[in-house]
A and B are shown apart, each in its own frame.
Chain A
Amino acid sequence: MPARNSTAALPVAAGGGVLRLRWPFRRLLLKGGGDGQAESGLKRAHFRDWRLPFWLLAPQLFILLLFFFIPSIRALIQAFQLTDPFGATTQWVGFQNFERLFRSSVYWSSAQVTLIFTIAQNVLTLSLALLLAFASNHILRGRGVYRTVLLLPYAIAPAIAGIMLAFLFNPRVGPVAHMLQELGLDWDPNRNSWHALSLIVMASSWKHICYNYIFLVAALLSVPQSILESAYLDGAGPIQRFLRISLPMITPTLFFLIVINFVYGLFETFAIVDATTLGGPAGATSILVYKVYQDGFVTLDLGSSAAQSVVLMALALFLTFAQFRFVERRVNYSV
């Protein structure tokens, strides 16, 4: 079928030029069938009726409904129930699940481990990614190769990464563990809580450094060359330029990454824990999200697991809120 309107290009908003729209959108989007000024933007007033925005949002809303709202509500209900895994018997127990949770010293020690884990993981991930981004930005030859290699771990499934590290650091058969033992460190994550904890921090950071790295590389590229050059003329070395100019200018990205890293540490690391330490030894690496998984899926304590996930969800909301409220003040968005 030949294009009905061959002069109309795809919507391009670059450079303040004219936004051209194809036939159906032109009619629906633009006020008064307008002449297509990009300056007018896509504001609410420009949708003629509610149907188009609804259909544009529908897939996302549908996915949210299916994979977020329905499970969340189910979890909320289940948090107040005691139930047989097969669903044969269900009892309404009020706040019993929560009471039990907050009385449990195991839960509090898990919360403590989670705090140490998320902070350590965040600091390690961000600083290493920053270092790598800074370094690979200053390498001229083979920059692309370095960047590709640095991005590769992101393509590895968390469970695989965990198993691999568990094996490399296994005190009996792991080559890295043997190296550490040669160096005089009595490495044994099976018997030392701190070793186990550092192992999952390493595993999860290693997985997430690339994610941080790609954002930081992009952020560093967007630092205006002119400012860097004038600093260079003023005699500032690369490290000084990085610390005094690039770093303050990429604070929005850093802030975004801190939030993302916390969410990652809180929610997405259970596969790594499951593959690396199984939450052991003696609960030393049993972070909150792993406990949710273990209590719910392994030991079938659905009520407690649901209560824990509700607490975790509240915690995530609070953390994100706090970060935006307090940390964001230090972020400088205007370049």
Chain B
Amino acid sequence: MRPFYGAFAGAGALLLAGLSSVQAATEIEFWHAMSGTLGERVDELVKKFNDSQKDYVVKAIAKGNYDEVLNGTIAAYRAKRQPEIVQSNERSFLTMVNSGAIVSTTELMAQQGRPVDVSKFIAPVVSYYAIDGKLQAMPFNSSTPILFYNRDHFKAAGFDKPGATWQELEPQLDAIKAKGVSKCAMVLPGDYEWSFLENYSAVNDIPYATKRNGMDGLDTSFVFNKGKLVGQVERMKRLVTSGVMQLAGQGIIPIQLFTSGECSTIIASTASHAAVVAAAKFDWSAAELPYEQGVTPKNSVIGGAALWTLKGHTPEKYKAIAAFYDFLAKTDTQVWWHQATGYVPVTTAAYDAAKAEGYYQKNPTREIAVVQLMRGTPSDNSLGFRIGNSNQINVAIMEEVSAAFLGKKPVQQALDDAVGRGNEVLRRYEQLNAGKK
């Protein structure tokens, strides 16, 4: 008899607790793609918000990598069980905007009486996530690629630091290998399409696609098979063929080859700071992306992800979302997030605050990404990329470029084929989304 009463009382307590929490706080779900150390940081961030007030509760749920989060969101949306907030990477920008499933951040914040001031955000973030000055998503984790290097290796090879241009860096990498300092002078990152091609074209101010890289409409076409980018891929091929640059391959993550001391350099997202700080047992540092000799380097472009608000929820929930976004944009939150993860602060106020407290004097590599993103005036080639079905095109480009690495086809032909396949996808995207922006 006793267990029965116990269970009864327990159920009653649960029911009461459930009721009271319904009355006390509005709960919203936040699906994200952060794993490992970054996942823990997201949990901390959400806890900070939940503890800061009593009206709203954000539940952060890790749903796998970016592709898996997007897939899960699509499935949930089609089943009408979508979460309130999803984190989606910058590549899926057009997919999200044209999905008809989202509420733009500017609109949401205006409705909730917490208007967004776009000018508060740093320029490369705004140019990526805003259309006509309206933020489509809430900027969250923004990054850009930088060059991490093993200072011990560079010293052993007789160098002070990596050269600023490719023309200076290349002989250094060759020397590191030739002198036997390490068998792997550089490791190719898994997302090299972003760091070696897209960002290369932005930094060196060359066009990647027409219509300002897609910013001016869906009738854009790729043009990266001409000019300097061909040389860049030729260079990558030479480095890969001579064994100076290694491919990590499946089973290990490229950054692990750097942090283990196996490879001397890697061009990776500034968010890799979290992993490098935790694992690298040698003297390391970082530098800005190398560029071509004789070029005045432009700003690099962002990667990472933003938070999207999904349609179909109650006004109460939207109030909660707006409160959460407000919290995210706060200078304190941004400074903490920037320092804890390595992502760049998305507001200028946060950058200034971190600078004022002397953070960059103690951690100079943390500033590289911000400086690189904000240097010079953005040109048509460095505003950002607005490419439909970007994931699909990415796969095609990487396939063609690696065919060139393998010697299956000449670099020029590989790039021509990549452009051809990319343009075909763009035309299909245009066909489906005719009349949209």
Interface residue A170 (Cβ < 8 Å from any Cβ of B): yes
What DSSP secondary structure best describes chain B's contact surface? helix
- Would you call B428 an interface residue if the criterion is a C-beta within 8 Å of the partner chain's C-beta atoms? yes
Chain B residues near A193 (CB-CB < 8 A):
406, 408
Residue of A166, A173, A281, A295 near B406 (CB, 8 A) is A281
Interface contact A299-B392, CB-CB below 8 Å: yes
B393-422, CB < 8 A from A: 394-396, 399-400, 402-403, 405-406, 408, 421
In the assembled complex, A252 has its CB within 8 A of some CB on chain B: no
Q: How far apart sit A281 and B246, CA to CA, in the bound complex (Å)?
A: 14
Are A91 and B251 neighbours in the complex by a CB distance under 8 Å? Answer: no
Interface size class of B (residues with CB under 8 A): 35 or more
Tell whether B36 is near chain A: CB-to-CB under 8 Å: no
A276 at the interface (CB under 8 A from B): yes
Closest B residue to A303 by CB, please name it: B428
Residues of A close to B248: CB separation below 8 A: 170, 172, 190
Shortest distance in angstroms between A288's beta carbon and chain B's nearest beta carbon?
Answer: 15
A85 to B240 CA separation, bound complex (whole angstroms): 36
Within 8 A of A (CB), among B129-162: none
Q: How close is A227's CB to chain B, nearest CB, in angstroms?
A: 49
Given contacts A191-B405, A192-B406, A282-B408, contact A86 B246 (CB under 8 A): no
B389 & A300 in contact (Cβ 8 Å cutoff): yes
- Count chain A CB atoms within 10 A of each CB in B99, B184, B249, B424 and give the residue with the most: B249
Say if the beta carbon of A217 comes within 8 Å of chain B: no
CA distance A236 to B247 in the complex (A): 55
User: Does A82 lie within 8 Å of B389, measured CB to CB?
Assistant: no
Known contacts A191-B406, A298-B395, A299-B389; decide if A82 and B428 are in contact (CB<8 Å). Answer: yes
4 residue pairs, one from A and one from B, having the closest CB atoms: A166-B251, A88-B100, A299-B392, A167-B251
Question: What are 26 residue pairs bridging A and B, where the CB atoms are less than 8 Å apart in the complex?
Answer: A82-B428, A84-B98, A84-B432, A85-B70, A85-B95, A86-B74, A86-B77, A87-B74, A89-B100, A89-B433, A91-B431, A91-B432, A162-B250, A163-B250, A163-B251, A169-B251, A170-B249, A172-B184, A190-B249, A191-B406, A276-B250, A277-B250, A281-B402, A282-B402, A282-B406, A283-B399
A84-B98, A85-B95 provided; 11 other pairs, C-beta below 8 A? A86-B99, A162-B250, A163-B251, A166-B250, A167-B251, A170-B249, A170-B251, A281-B406, A299-B395, A300-B70, A301-B392
Question: Which A residues form the contact surface with B (CB < 8 A)?
Answer: 82-89, 91, 100, 106, 162-163, 166-174, 189-193, 275-278, 280-284, 294-295, 297-301
B→A interface (CB under 8 Å): 67, 70-71, 74, 77-78, 95, 98-101, 184, 240, 246-252, 257, 262, 389, 391-392, 394-396, 399-400, 402-403, 405-406, 408, 421, 424-425, 428, 431-433
